[in-house]
Amino acid sequence: MSATRRGVLLTCSLAALLVVGCKGRTAPNAAKEWTPSPGDLVMGVPIGDVTSSIQAQLATRPESVPADRWRHIKQLYTTYGNVPLWLEKDGFSQSRSKALLRAVVDVRTDALRLDGYPLDELVATVGAVQATKQASATQLANADVLLTATYVELAEDLLTGQVDPKSIEQDWHIAVGHEPIDSAVARSLRDPQLDSAIARMRPRDADYDALRRSLVRFQSIVAGGGWAVVPAGKALKPRQADKPARIAALRERLRVEGFGAPGGASGAASDVAPSGAAGANVYNTELAGLVADFQARHGIAVDSALGAETMQSLNVPAQYRLAQIAANLERYRWLPRSFGGRYIIVNVPAFRLEAHDSTSTLEMKVIVGEEFEGKTTPVFADSMETVVFRPYWNITPDIQEKETEPKIAEDSKYMEANDLEYFKDGGETRIRQKPGPKNSLGLVKFLFPNAFNIYLHDTPDDALFAKDVRAFSHGCIRLEKPDELAQWVLGWEPARVDSAMQQGTDNQSTKLAKKIPVYIVYATAYERDGQLYFGNDLYSRDAALVKAVSGSIAPTETALRSLEALRKLVQD
């Protein structure tokens, strides 16, 4: 809104703002039980006095409130005519102010930092008004503006997150997608169920809700002391013997995180070590099965053995796992609130693609970029436009110079053996691979033009999909089921797709009738099939974000006491 327009609104009379907006427009009413009129009283104080005090409060921004947030606060009051947003004739609106304070009490279930909220000030200011029957206009205005500031802060945190993604992850290129704060908070205040309006500010994704539930579970684990370290020792394969204390510690460690029942089973009769040892000192098949489950859900190659990588993951503290969950809830808040009715999403650390529409989900394994600089798969979003069957692979100048040309220099038959040929690209001589079964892109590729030259494609190296950790590409994404994705994208029958891939025209492009959004994301804690997974942090991006959100998982004792005081205030 322009400064001129704001000035016009502010010069309108109180009566006009309460009844008719400037230029004859009806001013929006907050959805509450009481709509103030010029002669009304708020706890015995004339509404005009409260409004004047609110305007005086808004004249100077407190140093503790960021300029952008203060602008949102002032805009919200302007929208509603500078009348109290949280007060009624007899005090605070039970349906609105209590809903807001309940949401603040529960911010830890979204992994939001407590230090961002004025907990002590809320307890003191709101409590003082609740405790008196003779509040002043200044007290009422202070309390109302404080609640509004808290609400705007909560809306910002839920809609955009508490951390600027570009300050943490330089390779994150998805714009934070949300309704503008001004309109979001103004619209939500018209909702008669503010609890529901606040809930809708969260990412509308079942996976986000599931991750919130895991957050609460891990908060409980951490509050209970976490889990003990599994003692160092030799690598173990199923049916091998070890010290009973180490076997017991391993079983208990797994149980605390949710793998296996208390005490565990003793194993089958055949679970006897070659040495003849049996029972409490044997790494039996039942326990090895729990370790295999642990490996599958922690980004480790599944071999059922208790090796170095598995031991390292087992001994990651529970508090760090809790912080990972918090970090990934923050990543969810960075994403658009709606992906569209039909979209494709790739989670790089999960090595997995999902294609969603209103009726079904297609899932498959993928291979992503290596962890080395220049080969990582970036986080970004764009729209798929074209499917190319039997494509050429135009080798990039960087790969041509560093990899292909040295091999050609070493082996005079390398080009022929790999179906390579030279071609002119402008005035530059380039190398490409001919269409066919040897082509590194396989028999189909899916293009969604982007600044990173990343696309989805088939691959002749199917054996790599048998591996659990699949980071082998130069950045592009190889598909386990390219034919099924082509069927899903184009709506073609399997036989038609197979014909285009096997006998079709080389380098045949098919334009999509409607573009399909594609999202490449990076989530290292996520839910699948009702289970929590910790993905492989391929590109070492968790540490900085975990540090940034650490205040949400390890609040100070002072903050927790303040939170409890606010909880009691809400319950009174």
CA distance 507 to 96: 61
**Phi-psi region at 23: left, alpha or beta (left = phi > 0; alpha = psi -120 to 50):** left
Name residue 466's amino acid: A
Q: Name the phi and psi angles at 523, rounded to 5.
A: -125, 120
What distance in Å separates the CA atoms of residue 55 and residue 69, rounded to the nearest whole number?
Answer: 16
Distance, CA of 514 to CA of 509 (rounded, Å): 15
Structure tokens at 151: 């609400």
Q: What's the maximum distance between 2 C-alpha atoms anywhere in the chain?
A: 95
Question: Which of 169, 81, 108, 546 shows the shortest CA–CA distance to 328?
Answer: 546
Nearest-angstrom CA–CA distance, 281 and 392: 58
Asked if 457 is an active-site residue, the reply is: yes
CA distance 572 to 568: 6
Rounded Cα gap, residues 77 and 75, in angstroms: 5
Do residues 469 and 301 make contact, with C-beta atoms less than 8 angstroms apart? Answer: yes
Check 72, 298, 474, 476 and give the catalytic one: 476
Q: Would residue 12 show up in a list of annotated catalytic residues for this protein?
A: no
Centre a 10 Å sphere on the Cβ of residue 456 and count the other Cβ atoms it contains: 25
Residue of 75, 158, 77 lying closest to 116 (CA atoms): 158
C-alpha closest to that of 55 among 178, 167, 152, 137: 137
CA distances in angstroms from 68 to 37, 74, 413, listed in the order given: 31, 10, 64
SS3 363: strand
Q: Which of 72, 178, 298, 457 is catalytic?
A: 457
CB atoms within 10 A of CB 148: 25
Question: Terminal CA-to-CA distance of the chain, rounded, Å?
Answer: 40
Reduce the DSSP state of residue 265 to 3 states and report it. coil
Rounded CA-CA distance 561/271 in Å is 51
Catalytic residues: 457, 476
